[in-house]
Structure 1
Amino acid sequence: MKLLSRFLVAAAVVAVLAVGWLLLRERGHAPVPRADSAVSAARLQDPALVARGAYLARVGDCASCHTAQGGAPYAGGRRLPTPFGDIPAPNLTPDRETGLGAWSFEDFWRALHQGEGRDGRLLYPAFPYTSYTKVSRDDALALFAYLQSLPPVRQPNAAAGVGFPYNLRASLSAWRSLYFNPGEFRPDPAQSPEWNRGAYLVEGLGHCNECHVARDALGGLPKQATLTGGQIPAQNWYAPDLGMQANGGLQGWSEQDLVDLLRTGRSARGSAFGPMAEVVTQSTQHMDEADLRAIATYLRSLPPRPPPAAQKPLLDTSALVDAGGKLYADRCAACHGKDGKGVAGVYPPLDGNSSVDEPTGVNAIRVVLLGGFAPLTKDNPRPYSMPPFAQQLSDREVAAVVSYIRQAWSNHAGAVQERDVAAYRHTPVD
């Protein structure tokens, strides 16, 4: 069965390459000429425009990807892991040789809106232009003005580590025909201004769907799925379903719970950790109250989800779960409580926690192994953290306690297996 699946994926890749070659041939090979900017230098130096761009860069969490560990902000160098190879984020500072110093606004707009580089080359969708295409031209101008105001840093951009056949740019033409629909966000006149603002932030600059939807074998996002949850490729964290209605990953959350999480990194329903902790630190804690509430309004409007499919039970796991209950009482209950309710504002609840209930179990496994570290934010400057247990618990013990937590109290998620723990124990941490 695995051999058949690999053959089908390989066949799909070959088909995509063939279609991409035809599309690229029709498009032509000549580079797109550099676009002269209709925006004056004086306009780009407007302090109000630059300040607005700084805020929007926070909303888009641009610094997280475009700043290497210990490096200058926005100077690039951080390598973004994908199933097809690592892709280094480029230098966004206004250095003329290695950054955006020689770019016009029209060049920048084309990259953001069309996913094309200054020389006309198609960009890898690790740069989420599939979402950024919805950003308005006015907001794109503010972003560009802010980036042009940064101190220039000379840092050459590294080559992508994408292997054959994904390193053939022709494949991107076909990929885009399948998954990319360029176009600015259009407000829904039937919805409130607050809803439309939230939709614009979530679908566009916030690019939430890029993580919170399961990608297919070619790295594409299903067109009809919106924030339905999925495992983040190559990172091995599960980004939960963000629906707040029946069967959604945030069912039972209030708008205030969500605002609290985005602003402080913690809420009555749980804490941010893993990749989301970085999003809170770098982005959402800096957003104004109106925008956070707009996001909550939009997420609350997502439709109810279908009931989860019944999971095929593993072989009898009762002994494993019983052992997990004893481990929980010994290792976890002092903080999270015998009832799994935690301590408000200190230790997050595990009962009804979306990161515990998610379909794969990967989040709970990795938190037990690596520890849980809530983000440090201006409204939560001394967050409590959970120590790692990788050195204290065996793979079977981690599987036992995670299986117990996922089935205790009101939780009804499936048990996890020892081999799952073994696989995630050795997953690199970005």
Structure 2
Amino acid sequence: MKRKSLFALSAVVVVAAAALVPVLWSGGDHLHNGTAMAATPADQAALIKQGEYLARAGDCIACHTVRGGKQFAGGLPMATPFGTMFTPNITPDDQYGIGKWTQDDFYRAMHTGRSKDGSLLYPGFPFTSYTKVTRADSDAIYAYLRSVTPVNVPSRPHELKFPFNQRNMLIGWRTLFFREGEYKPDPTKSVEWNRGAYLIEGLGHCGMCHTSINAMGGPVSSAAFAGGLIPLQNWYAPSLTSNKEAGLGDWETKDIADLLKTGVSNRGAVFGPMAEVVHNSLQYMSDADINAMATYLKTIPQKSEAPEPLQLETSEKFGGELLKQGQKIYADNCAKCHAENGLGMPPAFPPLANNQSIQMPSAVNPIRMVLNGGYPPSTDANPHPYGMPPFAQALSNQEVAAVVTYIRMSWGNHGTAVSPQQVSDLRSAPLD
């Protein structure tokens, strides 16, 4: 649900060298240059429109478009623990894009993680999720991508360290972490629930951020949706399976839907990577699909504990000193918007009291918000969001630690004290 802060966006090890998302064609279609075409121009226009919607649901633009660059021309650098990868051109350019790809080529990339030439794709391209996408939806996205303006720009080669630049190593990774197969509806669940599961687990690839990864860059399947630090982005994607973090078991379905669609709700707002997801993708989805996603998310089994992140601890005495110092800093800088009692003025100014994202074991997100500030996404339903000003220049590391400690331990919150060293480590973290 990391570049969400309730959720967060794409957080895997490496990016792919191929395109995104595929749809079964109905009877009456014919082949043209090896590519299926819709029976009539009206059918083709409807298919392209459907593909555009699905490409939004898959957030293809986020990875395949550089800010200020040509749409879907690729070239976005993706830093990973194994080196830097660059996203490919997926416009219909014959030389550098997918102009010579057929529907079958595209579906193979989506479904099996193999490029047109059969080479293995790196799992930064979320084929482990996209394999769940139906052939019909894959073909629709293909039709849409074929309709965009071709861009004659070559894809930049990845800059991966040895031995991670050896694609044949991916065979072992795939054996351990990849299970091919389209989504199979659960007959014991409603149509709405199954639609939500399909979007969350497939096109939405939410687990890529909200599931921690191991040293091999593979998802920890036993901790699916249980949260994790997004590598090299230094944003924490909260657990969706624990009410101590962003667990949604006690949320109203409407609050979940509001958060996904607009970026704000009565329970909080999204910042960081998740704000980009809402801005680029979720705000364009239909109310029916958003409600389906919310319905599914609310039923994710809740566990008593989220995985404990490793972070510095303060002594009880120093924590008490920080708490006292933080009370004054909060009164001087924060109470005007978030209120003396921490209840805020939602949805414009989120509550800090009884806010799971404030008091969960990882303090990364509240520290980053105090340091860097930020805005929820601008959406049609919330075109002028209220923002959080940055305090990196105004407050020292200890002062930031103090005020974060105060909000994590006040008004009944059960968070722990924050170390100034944690603030120092995050002060130089990238803003994206």
Tell me which interval the TM-score lies in, with the shorter structure as reference length: 0.7 to 0.9
SS of corresponding position for 2:358: helix
Aligned equivalents of 1:294, 1:166: Cα separation in 2? 39
Corresponding residue for 1:263? 261
Following superposition, the deviation at residue 313 of structure 1 comes to 6.0
The answer (yes or no) to whether the contact 1:260–1:267 under 8 Å persists in 2 is: yes
Say whether 1:67 aligns with 2:69. Answer: no
Following superposition, the deviation at residue 296 of structure 1 comes to 0.8
Q: 1:300 to 1:245 in 2, by over 3 A?
A: farther
Aligned equivalents of 1:93, 1:354: Cα separation in 2? 41
Following superposition, the deviation at residue 127 of structure 1 comes to 0.5
Alignment counterpart, residue 339 of structure 2, candidates 329, 337, 343: 337
Q: 1:288 to 1:42 in 2, by over 3 A?
A: closer
Alignment counterpart, residue 288 of structure 2, candidates 287, 290, 294: 290
Following superposition, the deviation at residue 415 of structure 1 comes to 1.8
5 Å-filtered alignment, 1:17-32, equals none
Q: 1:102 to 1:397 in 2, by over 3 A?
A: same
Corresponding residue for 1:170? 168
Aligned equivalents of 1:313, 1:125: Cα separation in 2? 34
Aligned equivalents of 1:95, 1:54: Cα separation in 2? 18
The answer (yes or no) to whether the contact 1:249–1:358 under 8 Å persists in 2 is: no
5 Å-filtered alignment, 1:23-422, equals 39-42=35-38, 46-243=44-241, 249-307=247-305, 314-316=314-316, 317-422=319-424
Q: Which is worse superposed, 302-311 or 250-259? A: 302-311
Q: 1:247 to 1:82 in 2, by over 3 A?
A: closer
The answer (yes or no) to whether the contact 2:245–2:360 under 8 Å persists in 1 is: no
For structure 1, list consecutive stretches of 5 or more residues without a partner in the other structure: 1-35
Letter in 2 for 1:285: Q
Following superposition, the deviation at residue 225 of structure 1 comes to 2.7
Letter in 2 for 1:147: L
Letter in 1 for 2:46: A
For structure 2, list consecutive stretches of 5 or more residues without a partner in the other structure: 1-31
Q: How many residues align?
A: 395
Following superposition, the deviation at residue 226 of structure 1 comes to 2.5
Corresponding residue for 1:23? none
Following superposition, the deviation at residue 244 of structure 1 comes to 7.4
Following superposition, the deviation at residue 62 of structure 1 comes to 0.5
> TM-score normalised to the size of structure 2?
0.88
Following superposition, the deviation at residue 352 of structure 1 comes to 2.4
The answer (yes or no) to whether the contact 1:243–1:299 under 8 Å persists in 2 is: no
Aligned equivalents of 1:246, 1:352: Cα separation in 2? 10
Aligned equivalents of 2:49, 2:288: Cα separation in 1? 18
Letter in 2 for 1:81: A
> TM-score normalised to the size of structure 1?
0.88
Following superposition, the deviation at residue 107 of structure 1 comes to 0.7
Following superposition, the deviation at residue 242 of structure 1 comes to 2.1
Letter in 1 for 2:130: Y
The answer (yes or no) to whether the contact 2:90–2:145 under 8 Å persists in 1 is: yes
Aligned equivalents of 1:420, 1:230: Cα separation in 2? 17
Root mean square deviation of aligned Cα: 2.0
Letter in 2 for 1:398: V
Aligned equivalents of 1:138, 1:39: Cα separation in 2? 14
SS of corresponding position for 2:383: coil
The answer (yes or no) to whether the contact 1:244–1:300 under 8 Å persists in 2 is: no
Higher relative contact order (CA 8 A, sep 6+): 2
